[in-house]
Structure 1
Amino acid sequence: MKNVIVLIGAGSIGQAIARRVSAGKHILLADLKKENADATAKVLSEAGFDVSTASVDIASKDSIKKLVDIATSVGSVTGVIHAAGVSPSQATAEMILHVDLYGTAVILEEFGKVISDGGSCVVISSQSGHRLPSLTEEQNKLLATTPADELLALPMLQLSEIKDTLHAYQISKRGNVLRVMAEAVKWGRRGARVNAISPGIVITPLAKDELTGPRGERYRNMLKLSPSGRAGTPDEIGTVGELLMGTNAGFITGSDFLIDGGVTASYWYGDLVNK
């Protein structure tokens, strides 16, 4: 039986992690657009990886469950890399909540039912979740533990309470990290681990669009005033993803790793305060 790494999202960060952890395993690469998955699969296949593709809409529980069925038909699911989502410049607040918050909750619930003993998962969240002011203990618990099917009915997530697309994105990414913490308990019962990575601005095609788009000046200023003074690369995120999915991180689960070149530090305590 094959060991399967499920890669959700055909972007650069997910690829960087998959390249580091998938040698000798089968990569099931899923994306909303099949043509994106096929194009990335071709690159990975020509680099020596065993790859198949599927379409998935992570805003749909039925679509995610079909992906789980495909993965388990191929072999034993030993790893999940969830790197799909939408950004504030791409989508409405409602879509962000459905894709980034609800979709992640469903992925963790459904793959948590089939993950193999010794398996692991990395969820790509965002530095934005670290910009949201502190929530109450009760709000944290609701975001972390409310069943996915009931999540979007929470009063705090009603569009009347969401200020704009950035607010929706921030609360979704905070929710991702809290959900990872709660799901780590359930995944642990199967002998598996789950962690999150919260990248800052990493140079990908999407990031290049954002750096030159309506929010571009703000993003460029964030980089300029950060301790590192630059954007990151997918390979830098991939290195941490490799650690978290490997045996050397066997004592790490339910954690979130902020990798943003110090932008968040500067946002709270440095030159980006009040900007």
Structure 2
Amino acid sequence: MVSRDVAVIIGVGGMGLAIARRLGSGRGLLLADRDERTLKAARDALAAEGHEVAVQAVDVAEPDSMASLAATAGGLGPVTHLAHTAGLSPVQAKPADILRVDLLGVALFLDEFAGVVAPGGAGVVIASTAGHFAPTLSPDQEAALALTPAAELARLPFLAPDLVTDQAQAYCLAKVGNLIRVRAAAKLWGRRDARVNSVSPGVVSTPMGRQELAGPWGAAMRAQVDSAPAKRVGTPDDVADAVSFLLGQQARFITGTDLVVDGGAVAIHRRGGWTARAKSATGAGRD
């Protein structure tokens, strides 16, 4: 790969591939994924479209693997654009594995790439609206998720296996942890004059999203889509548009925050809570 600005995409499924296409023109692409067949298919597709592509297998929850990926990226050129999309959904894994990949994996990404992102560069973590639907954490729990060293996250008492026994519970905890961890990392990334944000997609038509829709939580997800103002599922391009904005110069004053890309589902959920509280407080309410 010729030395030029580098965009790193971790996780090259539906969203990752759409983001790679959006970012790749005129830059070197470094694609990373645990599944080598998925990685090869993405490399071949993007190379056939004229993109300059390097690949590396990665286990996002292994510190040495993430450190190696960061070192590879830094050796290719200035790392200006980063998108972390890798994760497991509730139908794909047990609670402990979801926490390991979705929470620890993001924490390691934020730590390792804070040391190689170029000045003026930016990163985005793909979180989820599940983080906005999660039960409220105590201030102490939020502080622990924000500041506990990555290697010690699994030992937090409220993440213990005997307490987190459900896949959906683990997923919500991991995703709210992503939002908190990104906010905390903004200062670290800012030391290199770099930015980091998260994007929380709602129901998106990716292979993972379709698997979830066919699973035990599918009915609730479809109800969420039907009640939202947009009244449709999202597309990978909807997410890629948001990521492209946050990584671009139009977002140069935005860091440490989350952009919800869900057709309005979270807004409707919160409105329902407000309506219930208003009725309770006044004995009436207006829908």
Pairwise TM-score range, normalised by the shorter structure? over 0.9
Structure 1 residues 116-139: Cα deviation after superposition (integer angstroms, max 9, x where no partner): 101100100000000112212221
Query: What runs of 5+ residues in structure 1 fail to find an aligned partner?
Result: none
Runs of 4+ residues deviating >6 angstroms: none
* Aligned equivalent of 2:131: 129
- Structure-2-length-normalised TM-score: 0.91
Cα shift readout 1:46-73 (whole Å, capped 9, x = no counterpart): 2221101110011211111111122122
Partner residue of 1:68 out of 67, 70, 81:
70
Find the counterpart in structure 2 of residue 242 from structure 1. 244
Matched-pair contact (CA < 8 Å) for 1:30–1:55: yes
Q: CA deviation at 1:163?
A: 4.2
**1:141 and 2:143 matched:** yes
- Checking the alignment, whether the CA contact within 8 Å between 2:185 and 2:196 is kept in structure 1 is yes
Specify the alignment match of 1:174 in structure 2: 176
Q: CA deviation at 1:146?
A: 1.0
Structure 2 residue 103 is the aligned partner of structure 1 residue 101: yes
Q: Work out whether residues 89 and 208 of structure 2, in 8 Å CA contact, stay in contact via their aligned partners in 1.
A: no
Distance 2:166 2:215 in 1: 17
Q: 1:211, CA displacement in angstroms?
A: 1.6
Q: Which has the larger radius of gyration?
A: 2
Shift of residue 153, structure 1, vs aligned partner: 0.8
**Corresponding residue for residue 221 of structure 2:** 219
**Are the equivalent residues in 1 in contact too, given 2:89–2:212 (CA < 8 A)?**
no
Q: Are the counterparts in 2 of residues 5 and 80 from structure 1 also a CA contact under 8 Å?
A: yes
- Residues 176-220 of structure 1 show CA distances to partners (whole Å, capped at 9, x for unaligned) of 011111111010010100000000001112212222233222222
After TM superposition, the structure 1 = structure 2 runs for residues 148-167 of structure 1, keeping only pairs within 5 Å, are 148-167=150-169
Deviations 1:7-33 (A, max 9, x none): 100112122222222221110101001
What is the CA–CA distance in structure 2 between the aligned matches of 1:48 and 1:261, rounded to whole Å?
A: 33
* Cα distance, 1:35 vs structure 2: 1.4
Query: 1:114: how far off?
Result: 1.1
Q: Deviations over 1:122-164 (max 9, x none)?
A: 1000000001122122211110111101111111111122141
1:192-271 alignment, distance < 5 Å: 192-270=194-272
- Separation in structure 2 between the aligned mates of residue 89 and residue 264 of structure 1, nearest angstrom: 22
Which of 162, 186, 189 matches 2:188? 186
Q: Give the number of aligned pairs.
A: 273
Which amino acid is the alignment partner of residue 58 of structure 1?
V
Question: What SS does the corresponding residue of 2:181 show, helix, strand or coil?
Answer: helix
Query: Aligned equivalents of 1:205 and 1:153: distance in 2?
Result: 32
CA RMSD of aligned residues (A): 1.6
Picking from 9, 25, 28, the partner of 2:27 is: 25
Higher mean C-alpha deviation, range 231-240 or range 66-75: 66-75
| Separation in 2, partners of 1:41, 1:270 | 44
SS at 1:117 equivalent? strand
Distance 1:130 1:82 in 2: 19
Is the 1:21–1:245 contact (alpha carbons within 8 Å) kept by the matching residues of 2? no
